[in-house]
Structure 1
Amino acid sequence: MAAPAVVFVSPAPLPRSSPTAEHRRATLRGLDSCRSMPELRQYHSQLIRLGLSEDNDAVGRLIKFLALHPSGDLPYALHLLGLLPRPDPFVFNTLLGALPSPAESLLVYSDMLLRSVAPNSFTFPSLLKPIFAGRDIDAGRQVHAHVLKLGFHPDVFSQNNLIRFYLSCGLTVDARRVFDTMSSTDVVSWTTMISGLSKLGSVDEARELFDRMPERNSVSWNAMIAGYVQCGRFKNAFELFARMRTEGIELNKFVAASMLAACSGMGALEQGEWIHGHIERMGIELDPKLGTTIIDMYFKCGCLDKAFKVFRGLSCRGLSSWNCMIGGLAMHGLGKEAVKMFDEMMKEGVIPDDITLLNVLSACAHAGLISEGRHYFYYMVHEFRIEPKMEHFGCMVDLLGRAGLLDEAKQVIQEMPMDADAGVLGALLGACKIHGNVDLGEQIGRRVIELDPLNSGRYVLLANLFSSAGRWDDAAEVRRLMNDRGVNKEPGCSMIEMGGVVSEFIAGGKSHPQAREIYVMVDEMLERIKAEGYAPDTSGVLHDIDEEEKENPLYYHSEKLAIAFGLLNTRSGDTIRITKNLRVCRDCHAASKLVSKVFDREIIVRDRNRFHHFRGGECSCRDYW
């Protein structure tokens, strides 16, 4: 259906008699509802005929439209400002906040001072707006100097904006100095500091301020919770959320979004379901952003059916919602379903972006869809003119490498318009390990280590490649290099939620209250799956030691402990959901398949790369991972 025509109503013709107060009011009311430049020019001409071309109120309304409306005209606004004989601060403030660059805003501010117009409490926040956008530190310091010089240092509004500016530039010392020297602060001052420090990674300093706050609102709570979520400290986020609820603070959509992200990070489905239910019970608006966060939570907690239900129930599905669905399906190894979702999106007329194509390529890589991956890589460049980024090339290298097409994967790297980073080369190194190509793996592995010298996984992968080929001296050399550089192997950690409580396990750990029962269950579990043909896969163990010695550490990997805990606390037919910080090893993968069959459980494991759904002795990845 054709869009309705836009009808513009011209201003009423000017009466021939002298303008009255009513005529003036009618013209100004009409100007406030102006919708286009042609209409504004008509009102401007009428103001001139009414003798209001030098009136600050009337011209200020013109300038407000010209400066702030999407179809406005800044040069026109600056011209009108120049014609005003006695402009007031309001006119200048309106323009200052709309100018595109710090240099232009400082020029207008200088003109303001030259024309003896005194700034007010709104001037410096307006002036800082383009300076904040441009991250111009020198300009910001000049404004700060004028705040002090002109006596606005007691003004909380101006000071809060200075704090925000300094934090946006990463200048925490300057921001803290402004905050600490303020004669009075408000909840915005504290919250701005907490939010800014958290975004810069100083989350402990932010918490120290949060605990000292004389008054908190929901924005303050969300700033601190979001800070913990952003730096991956999900347990702290849950603890603070529990305290917030104890203090009777209402859960709004912003806190809900932050906590849903925490649930996604920890795989805490029960908590996520409670928050989703609370959103529905309280009638909180499910806008596309919040809806997408809920979808993401369900995907990352391994609950695909609920993710689909929320997606289908959204009244408005934006690009981010489609991207979340395609990425979620890719994460679960459902490549064909992800491609189908992409086709559905295209039929809906939604234009994809680089994230959409990255998710599609990732889906193809996880599912081994070689021809489809090649097609969509060509498609993004030639159909949508989307230039591939490093991540897109990484997906193609991963796709081809997993399939054993190592020469073609290497060619992709050689033809990239930029130098490959450690992520792209690491994908090829992983493929060399899978397919036993030691020569190429050694060449790529040493490059990866030099590019990413603090990542323990790079050393371990290369050392394991050497170990699998019996090159023990080379494996030991890589281990020595890792030790000499002070790089420690990241410990494996698996999390499982039971009864709303998240338990963490590390390999060989015994701190859990049920540790004794868990280890007994691990032994029983391994004995029963050995009867089904389980034999420990020791190929990933680094050193050249006896097979019997290799087996023992494998028995108590973190995911085996988490599975044993899950078996103790579930019944036949239940689902056990586990989140692991590292990639699942081949031995645990083989064991999990048999445990799902012998103990009649569905075991859903989310590792660093993807999801594995173990059911009836099989895995959703079909051993292609």
Structure 2
Amino acid sequence: MPPFAAIFGYFKSSPKTFFASPFVFSFAFAKFSRSFKGLSSSSQSSGFSFSSVFSDHLKNRKLDEARAVLNEIPSPSVHLFTKMIMGYVENYRLSDALELFYKMPFRDMVSWNSIIKGCLDCGDLEMAEKLFDKMPERNVISWTTMMNGFLQFGRVGVAERLFSDMPARDIAVWNSMIYGYFRNGRVEDAMKLFERIPYRNVISWTSMISGLDQHGMSDEALLLFQQMVNSGIKPTSSYGLNCKHEDALKVFSDMMKMGILPNQSSFTSALNSCCEMEAIDRGKEIHIVAIKLGLENDVFVGNSLTVLYSKCGNINDGVATFKKIDEKNTVSWNSIIGGCAQHGCGTWALTCFTQMIRAGIDPDEITFTGLLSACSHSGMLHKGRCLFEYFSQCKSIEMNLEHYACMVDILGRSGKLEEAEELVRNMPMKANSMVWLALLSACKMHSNLELAERAAKCVFDLEPHCSAAYVLLSNLYAFSNRWSDVARIRRKMKQRGITKQPGCSWVTLKGLRHVFHSGDRSHPLSEKIYQKLDWLGEKLKGFGYVPDQRFALHDVEDEQKEAILSYHSERVAIGFGLISTVEGSTITVMKNLRVCEDCHTAIKLLAKIVRREIVLRDSSRFHHFKDGFCSCRDYW
């Protein structure tokens, strides 16, 4: 359907909805304007070809439907056969892939290389080796694929012989062999081969640096890093990607001390490490360096800064850095839309989306996820429905399970539980546990036990050991005072060896993460923390706070329930923050689970009592508590 026809059809079916959503209209019109210019008369009249339907089925993992379409195509090309083969192997249907490969009327080098790689990916080294031996001719990709396969299965000697027999070797072959040596613990062989490489690129250097570091040779790795920089090779992110974020920041610091000016890649790596460590103070220091070097407005540095500030609880600075980016790309817009969504700034997110379209930047699947998340966290049911309806008709966006989980979340949070269940059961693809968990979570929020039990059963059918589903159902039983059902669920978890993820909260201070559990007294400052919490408890009573004992979730006496609630992990973390930071400063706490409603009520009052802003990120979103109110407006 041409873009204009899609717009007209959308308007005709729901004119009020269409005009009530200016961001949808601006997006649709912009898409129409750009698409119309590129349309030819033939493309308008041809409709969907077999190959486009075939590709759509493959993208949606509907392999049998894709194969049926392929069978209907007269004289399909080798390229289509190869795509079908790769679709099979990506879903571990190797026998189907081999059957189709042998049926192909003609096989080119790409199809041979694809089936060999598919065999290796599916764990069948023997079949891959047989096919390699049968190849009528081989290119460097064929040799490299097979060599990597032997290295993957630990057959280093055979890989070495293959490496020696290659008629020609490019730099990728040398790099693969070095990586394979490290993977199999052959450090000295890797070092010797590195010395023999006729030409080294950045991958050669970073493979060596990360390999040495992973084998406990960090000093040698740093020395090699210095040699790499001196040889004119720009460093990449070899530490950040390996989750050695402290080391990555040390390397960045060493670069500065050595007088080596970091480039965009170095800044991005360092800022990403700060983000993963939630070390916003160190990120701010790197931000200052970027400003001094004139890189603050660079798109890659700006994107990383936007993500850093947003994920560490400071959405205002995230927006400020985003605005300074000179040439914003899709990642830029997705970063700020996602950040606004996490902080419950739904209107900001939709405004950014409108600006994105006006700037001529096409949204993608990540944009759609961010927008739906924004609607969910801001309680914008109508906007969420409009977006979901429009994007489901947009051919440039591929709907996936995450989008449906977001829409279920939007409906569920708004109390539309039956509509949410109907959406799940009528999805064009099979719902996974993530989608059913979204519905189950909404059932707990609205205390709908009957639907919760149905949703939980669907989760267990798909994922029998899903601890989250057991915990949600158990908590709902506890909330309803059905303690025998709570005991039954806990027995079942114990019998099946399923453990509940323990709730914890943490505060990052001067680069150190301080982690707390409920009732935790292991911290060196525990005595002072609990003195502060007891003082706050008395103040809370003066403000009329009464603990909601339903959220203790234990069948104990009322006094014990009150004590359990008073020392939830987020409150302990806040107590630590209050005694460890200067008066008036913002306290930022991270929590791995959803904050309970009783703690949410208490923290609103705590922020008013201590006259501080308290930022709490739970598993759902960020909460900004100030002057007795929360940014979520009690909707999360």
Distance 2:299 2:528 in 1: 45
Aligned counterpart for 1:322 among listed residues 316, 333, 336: 333
Q: What SS does the corresponding residue of 1:579 show, helix, strand or coil?
A: strand
Aligned 1:207-606 pairs, distance under 5 A: 208-210=216-218, 213=221, 215-217=223-225, 225-229=239-243, 237-238=245-246, 241-242=249-250, 245=253, 248=257, 250=260, 251-284=262-295, 286-606=297-617
Distance 1:465-1:196 versus aligned 2 partners, 3 A rule: farther
Distance 1:569 1:178 in 2: 46
Partner of 2:163: 147
**Does the CA contact (< 8 Å) of 2:413 and 2:442 recur in 1?**
yes
TM-score, scaled relative to structure 1: 0.70
1:334-366: CA deviation from partner (whole Å, max 9, x where unpaired):
112211111111111111111111111111111
Q: What SS does the corresponding residue of 1:609 show, helix, strand or coil?
A: coil
Distance 1:342 1:156 in 2: 43
Q: What SS does the corresponding residue of 2:224 show, helix, strand or coil?
A: coil
* Structure number with bigger Rg: 1
1:507-539: CA deviation from partner (whole Å, max 9, x where unpaired):
333343322211111111122112112222332
Is 2:207 the counterpart of 1:192? yes
Distance 1:357-1:244 versus aligned 2 partners, 3 A rule: closer
Distance 1:609 1:560 in 2: 18
**Does the CA contact (< 8 Å) of 1:373 and 1:396 recur in 2?**
yes
How far off is 1:244 after superposition?
6.2
1:122-174: CA deviation from partner (whole Å, max 9, x where unpaired):
xxxx9555877999848999986442236999x9974323345x59xxxx85x
Worse-superposed segment, 209-218 or 442-451: 209-218
**Does the CA contact (< 8 Å) of 1:128 and 1:161 recur in 2?**
no
Q: What SS does the corresponding residue of 2:175 show, helix, strand or coil?
A: helix
Q: What SS does the corresponding residue of 2:590 show, helix, strand or coil?
A: strand
Code of the aligned partner of 1:160 = N
Distance 1:588 1:507 in 2: 12
Partner of 1:101: 110
How far off is 1:480 after superposition?
1.5
How far off is 1:286 after superposition?
4.9
Q: What SS does the corresponding residue of 1:466 show, helix, strand or coil?
A: helix
TM-score, scaled relative to structure 2: 0.69
**Does the CA contact (< 8 Å) of 2:178 and 2:194 recur in 1?**
no
**Does the CA contact (< 8 Å) of 2:178 and 2:190 recur in 1?**
no
How far off is 1:416 after superposition?
0.8
Distance 1:156-1:128 versus aligned 2 partners, 3 A rule: closer
**Does the CA contact (< 8 Å) of 1:193 and 1:206 recur in 2?**
no
**Does the CA contact (< 8 Å) of 2:547 and 2:598 recur in 1?**
yes
Partner of 1:69: none
How far off is 1:239 after superposition?
5.7
Distance 1:343 1:130 in 2: 47
How far off is 1:454 after superposition?
4.2
Q: What SS does the corresponding residue of 1:540 show, helix, strand or coil?
A: helix
**Does the CA contact (< 8 Å) of 2:178 and 2:193 recur in 1?**
no
**Does the CA contact (< 8 Å) of 2:208 and 2:221 recur in 1?**
no
1:243-280: CA deviation from partner (whole Å, max 9, x where unpaired):
76368465554343233223323432211111111222
How far off is 1:102 after superposition?
7.3
Worse-superposed segment, 428-437 or 498-507: 498-507
Distance 1:619-1:181 versus aligned 2 partners, 3 A rule: closer
Distance 1:508 1:207 in 2: 39
- In structure 1, runs of 5+ residues without a counterpart are 1-98, 107-125, 198-204, 230-235
Partner of 2:20: none
Worse-superposed segment, 249-258 or 612-621: 249-258
Q: What SS does the corresponding residue of 2:194 show, helix, strand or coil?
A: coil
Greater relative CO (CA pairs within 8 A, separation 6+) = 2
**Does the CA contact (< 8 Å) of 2:552 and 2:564 recur in 1?**
no
Worse-superposed segment, 379-388 or 606-615: 379-388
Partner of 1:159: 174
Code of the aligned partner of 1:505 = F
Distance 2:502 2:146 in 1: 41
Code of the aligned partner of 1:368 = G
Worse-superposed segment, 577-586 or 596-605: 577-586
**Does the CA contact (< 8 Å) of 2:505 and 2:590 recur in 1?**
yes
How far off is 1:448 after superposition?
1.7
How far off is 1:184 after superposition?
4.2
Distance 2:159 2:112 in 1: 12
Q: What SS does the corresponding residue of 1:328 show, helix, strand or coil?
A: helix
Distance 2:365 2:558 in 1: 47
- In structure 2, runs of 5+ residues without a counterpart are 1-107, 116-137, 230-234
Worse-superposed segment, 384-393 or 341-350: 384-393
**Does the CA contact (< 8 Å) of 1:495 and 1:578 recur in 2?**
yes
Partner of 1:14: none
Distance 1:190 1:462 in 2: 51
Distance 1:105 1:619 in 2: 54
Partner of 1:183: 192
Q: Percent identity between the aligned chains?
A: 38
Distance 1:127 1:274 in 2: 49
Distance 2:569 2:458 in 1: 31
Worse-superposed segment, 594-603 or 240-249: 240-249
How far off is 1:214 after superposition?
7.6
Distance 1:454 1:210 in 2: 39
1:546-578: CA deviation from partner (whole Å, max 9, x where unpaired):
222222222222211221122223455421111
Distance 1:568 1:138 in 2: 58
Worse-superposed segment, 400-409 or 295-304: 295-304
1:199-257: CA deviation from partner (whole Å, max 9, x where unpaired):
xxxxxx8263545548331689965531443xxxxxx5236634763684655543432
Distance 1:129 1:474 in 2: 59
Worse-superposed segment, 472-481 or 188-197: 188-197
Distance 2:482 2:146 in 1: 54
1:1-41: CA deviation from partner (whole Å, max 9, x where unpaired):
xxxxxxxxxxxxxxxxxxxxxxxxxxxxxxxxxxxxxxxxx
Q: What SS does the corresponding residue of 1:604 show, helix, strand or coil?
A: strand
Code of the aligned partner of 2:444 = K
Distance 1:147 1:135 in 2: 7
Q: What SS does the corresponding residue of 1:399 show, helix, strand or coil?
A: helix
How far off is 1:592 after superposition?
1.0
Aligned length: 489
1:412-458: CA deviation from partner (whole Å, max 9, x where unpaired):
10111121111110010011111111011012113324433444322
